[in-house]
Amino acid sequence: MLTLTSEIRTPYHPIRAGAKLALLCAATVGLFMLGSLGAMVAANAAVAALYLVPGRPFAKDGLRLLKPVWIFVALVLAWHVLTHDTRAGLVIALRLTAAVALANLVTMTTRFDDMVEVVLWLLSPLRRLGIRTAPIGFAIVLVVRFIPVLLAKARSLIEAWRARSPRRAGWQVALPIALVAIDDAEHVAEALRARGGFDTE
């Protein structure tokens, strides 16, 4: 539950986490600087090529992680079609897809401990103010890791509802999803306590 790192070894795994995060920031800024539809199509093609380098199984896993994004893409496109600005909607949708895919690529090829180390290094100036950075850094990285896992479990609950009821899943699954999140949080807390918790630095 604590890791989404791909078991498929890729050329990206040996790259330092800090370098990958820096490249991710630069690439994301670059995506927002691109305004033409052709440029965004080329950017998405380049991202797809990055996923295909390790092979089709890895690319398939990356595509699966993009499933939660499709609903936002559909909403963006629908809104811009209604406002008669389809081209701008396509640009935004492609930008969103490329940015999330790049973030997933970093997550899939970076160890959890390495992510924590980079975040703690970025937060290190706060130590001069007497702030404990270990819990903050861990919480930030844990949220990044935990959201896709929670979304996957939410989809499983919705599919289970559909298999047992002809009605569309709505508020009825909100409580089970919340309970799953609380249960997972408790398990994570127990695991942290069993490993000694956080450093005092």
Q: Is the pLDDT of residue 22 over 50?
A: yes
**pLDDT value of residue 55:** 92
If you average pLDDT over each of 33-42, 60-69, 186-195, which comes out highest? 33-42
Domain residue limits at 150 = 126-194
Same domain, 25 and 101: yes
Q: Do 20 and 109 contact (CB within 8 A), yes or no?
A: yes
Number of independent structural domains in the chain? 2
Structure confidence at residue 170 as a pLDDT band (50, 70, 90): low
Structure confidence at residue 2 as a pLDDT band (50, 70, 90): very low
Query: Residue 172: which region, alpha, beta or left (left: phi > 0; alpha: psi -120 to 50)?
Result: alpha
Domain boundary pick from 53, 83, 110: 110
Q: Is the pLDDT of residue 32 over 80?
A: yes
Enumerate the H helices of the chain as residue ranges.
17-33, 37-52, 56-65, 67-82, 86-108, 112-123, 133-164, 174-194
